């Protein structure tokens, strides 16, 4: 009898660890002092930032993928924990001067022109900070025309079919165990 309980416990543990966190819910920060731009210089410092707010449960892992448009160069983006009162606190992505930054840098390497147009940039992190919102700042980096605007899409990790199957199998085993206890 104990071996059956042990097998059931192992099966439940395996099914539980495969479940992923829910995808982040992106909300544009479209009002107040969050909107703004950072002045570009002759070295191509990012200008015209777009800010997005999202939430990740404590100790869950977030995976962010930013894909530039087909004619745009690499993405420059940063992620911060907590909302700031104005964009001046987000201004220096190259040096990581913002004290609350989780990640700062170019999407695909140290040179924004090494990978090429349309290549997605992905960043994953585990939320060890708390239950407050995060901010994803995306620079509308220059395209090959030097226009300083970039089209992009945000993609969040979505649980795969296998994950859902394992989760449902785990719930079924929990139901079976509860039913056997009542009998």
Is residue 118 domain-shared with residue 163, that is, in the same domain? Answer: no
pLDDT tens digits, one per residue of 52-65: 777 777 888 777 77
Is residue 98 domain-shared with residue 182, that is, in the same domain? Answer: no
Our count of domains for the chain comes to 2
Rounded Cα gap, residues 148 and 42, in angstroms:
12
pLDDT tens digits, one per residue of 115-146: 456 667 777 778 888 887 777 777 655 444 44
The residue that leads in pLDDT, 69 or 172, is 172
Is residue 120 domain-shared with residue 43, that is, in the same domain? Answer: yes
Mutual orientation of helices 2-17 and 161-182 as an angle, nearest 10°? 150
**Domain containing residue 91: CATH number:** 2.60.120.380
Is residue 85 domain-shared with residue 117, that is, in the same domain? Answer: yes
Is residue 7 domain-shared with residue 73, that is, in the same domain? Answer: no
Q: And the tokens for 113?
A: 């022109």
Is residue 147 domain-shared with residue 165, that is, in the same domain? Answer: no
Is residue 46 domain-shared with residue 132, that is, in the same domain? Answer: yes
- Full residue range of the structural domain in which residue 78 is found: 22-158
pLDDT tens digits, one per residue of 62-115: 777 776 666 666 666 677 777 654 555 444 443 344 444 455 444 444 444 344
Buried/exposed 27-65: b ≥16 CB within 10 Å, e otherwise: eebeeeebeeebebeeebbbbbbbbbbbbbeeeeebbbb
Is residue 96 domain-shared with residue 143, that is, in the same domain? Answer: yes
Is residue 102 domain-shared with residue 47, that is, in the same domain? Answer: yes
């Amino acid at each position: 009898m104990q071996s059956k309980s042990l097998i059931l416990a192992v099966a439940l543990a395996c099914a539980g660890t495969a479940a992923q966190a829910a995808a982040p819910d992106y909300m544009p920060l479209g009002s107040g002092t969050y909107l703004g731009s950072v002045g570009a210089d002759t070295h191509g410092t990012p200008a015209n930032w777009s800010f997005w707010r999202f939430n990740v449960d404590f100790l869950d892992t977030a995976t962010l993928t930013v894909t530039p448009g087909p004619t745009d160069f690499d993405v420059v983006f940063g992620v911060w924990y907590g909302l700031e009162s104005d964009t001046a606190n987000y201004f220096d992505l190259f040096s990581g001067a913002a004290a609350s930054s989780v990640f700062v840098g170019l999407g695909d390497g140290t040179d924004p022109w090494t990978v090429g147009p349309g290549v997605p940039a992905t960043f994953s992190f585990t939320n060890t900070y708390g239950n407050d919102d995060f901010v994803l700042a995306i620079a509308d980096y220059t395209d090959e025309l030097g226009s300083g605007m970039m089209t992009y899409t945000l993609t969040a990790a979505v649980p795969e079919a296998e994950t859902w199957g394992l989760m449902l199998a785990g719930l079924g085993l929990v139901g079976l165990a509860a039913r056997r206890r009542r009998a």
